[in-house]
Structure 1
């Protein structure tokens, strides 16, 4: 009996350094936010769950190009916002480096292309090819998001190549909020801008997505999927956190709700996430299947306590 007890104690002692090493290596999870409300929403959900499990989420606000460089260079651990195919060139670069793993496709049913407001649709614009004939009404401007974003680059390339006769149009780069403020403020003026789903703009603004942009944004009105990326060495070192992220998938209605809380109600992303998680325990249970806290306790219990407390 003494020998058996000693064997158990030796086994436990041997496991302790591994657990300690993993906690030291994985205790902080670093990821980035490009300033898009959809990614802010999903980042907030991930932060609430990670914190409940004993991790410390460290979210840096980085533009898309800088965020990908940070992931490539090991300055961040994962990224929840790899929109495909719009960000294909960044994925190609990461794939060439061979250090990144795709953990999961976390969203389907997304779309991302140019759209017009009601005044633009009333002017007869339903396709990219319709724009140039109405240049004066649109003041020759296409409203984009933050500088450096792949979608802006696609628009600028289209202008530079004089596609659809848009060679003398101007791309106005700003950011998601500034762009939407422009559209809302000038609702009576025809406006063409980047639009996407999921996003509460689809509820707040009467939007017509433009056909004809398959070469620039992909078929099905820029139909897109979103993926979670992580560094391979981080996945190997932190299998518990990686398992959580590989099971964390979202849907368009969920993201619309969360984004509406953030944009329309001024709610903090984590506060919005807590409310959603408390109201959707079955989804949380699926995400946390086989996932523990950082110190090895049942993960689902910890998350339930955090969001219901």
Structure 2
């Protein structure tokens, strides 16, 4: 009997040791953020759950092309911001060719295209084809986000092809924050401006703005966002991958977290914790069948840990 008891104890200890070793091999979970408010929010939600499960999460700020290169080369584990169809070029280059793995859809119903303030819309700018009618008022400029962003490349293609008579226009590239600061300055002076807009994002609440029609060939109509990983990640870190594959967001969820950050001047982590504490029911779907780093059922551990 003692021998059997000893064997069971050793087996249990060995299993626990292997679980800890596997968890150690999967920590930190290396994530990426291109400097977008929505990805900062979703990274914070994912990171909080992962840390409560016993993993650490590390987020690096990287340009989109560097993120995909990092996923291909195994230097980045997870990216929650594969916006489609805006990132079709990267999808063709990395995902369709099998260099990066698409794990799951995490959001649907997104909008991502050029936008204008309400007074510009009221003046008659409703569609891409309306822009050049007011070229001088716009100073022939389109304000985009960080260099290398897929949406910027779409705008550059549009200008190069002289679509919508925009061949003489110029793309102004900057960070998301700098672009929105320029929009704020324009709005205060009631100056004409067109810029990249998307939802979910606090800009949809803060600004009185309208999305332009007509750019579907470049930006699609309604889009989706996917979670992508380096190849082999689901096999190497199955519990983390199972959680990430089940993690779904909504427009309202992301907008609420981002609005907390802006309105209350708090960190994304603080906003994510407050939202999850107020909506613990989402964890049931996110953590179905998922184990913590030390092999326990994740749902009760995470719920208690929040």
TM-score by length of 2: 0.95
Query: 1:183-223: per-residue Cα shift (whole Å, max 9, x none)?
Result: 122111121111011112111111111111111111x2xx2
Deviation of 1:14 (Å):
4.2
Deviation of 1:24 (Å):
2.4
RMSD: 1.5
Once residues 54 and 99 of structure 1 are traced to their aligned partners in structure 2, the CA distance between those partners, rounded to angstroms, is 29
Residue equivalent to 2:59? 59
Residue equivalent to 2:157? 157
Residue equivalent to 2:196? 194
Residue equivalent to 1:146? 146
Deviation of 1:103 (Å):
1.8
Deviation of 1:79 (Å):
0.7
Residue equivalent to 1:235? 234
Contact 2:20–2:293 (Cα < 8 Å) also in 1: no
1:15-30 equivalent positions in 2, closer than 5 A:
15-30=15-30
Once residues 213 and 99 of structure 1 are traced to their aligned partners in structure 2, the CA distance between those partners, rounded to angstroms, is 29
Deviation of 1:4 (Å):
3.3
Once residues 237 and 31 of structure 2 are traced to their aligned partners in structure 1, the CA distance between those partners, rounded to angstroms, is 14
Match of 1:205 among 207, 214, 218: 207
1:99-178 equivalent positions in 2, closer than 5 A:
99-178=99-178
Once residues 142 and 186 of structure 1 are traced to their aligned partners in structure 2, the CA distance between those partners, rounded to angstroms, is 13
Moved more, 100-109 or 145-154: 100-109
Deviation of 1:124 (Å):
0.6
TM-score by length of 1: 0.94
Residue equivalent to 2:80? 80
Runs of 5+ unmatched residues, structure 2: none
Once residues 251 and 214 of structure 2 are traced to their aligned partners in structure 1, the CA distance between those partners, rounded to angstroms, is 24
Contact 2:144–2:174 (Cα < 8 Å) also in 1: yes
Deviation of 1:154 (Å):
0.5
Deviation of 1:99 (Å):
4.2
Alignment length (residue pairs): 304
Contact 2:72–2:231 (Cα < 8 Å) also in 1: no
Runs of 5+ unmatched residues, structure 1: none
Once residues 176 and 95 of structure 1 are traced to their aligned partners in structure 2, the CA distance between those partners, rounded to angstroms, is 25
Contact 1:142–1:170 (Cα < 8 Å) also in 2: yes
Once residues 253 and 168 of structure 1 are traced to their aligned partners in structure 2, the CA distance between those partners, rounded to angstroms, is 38
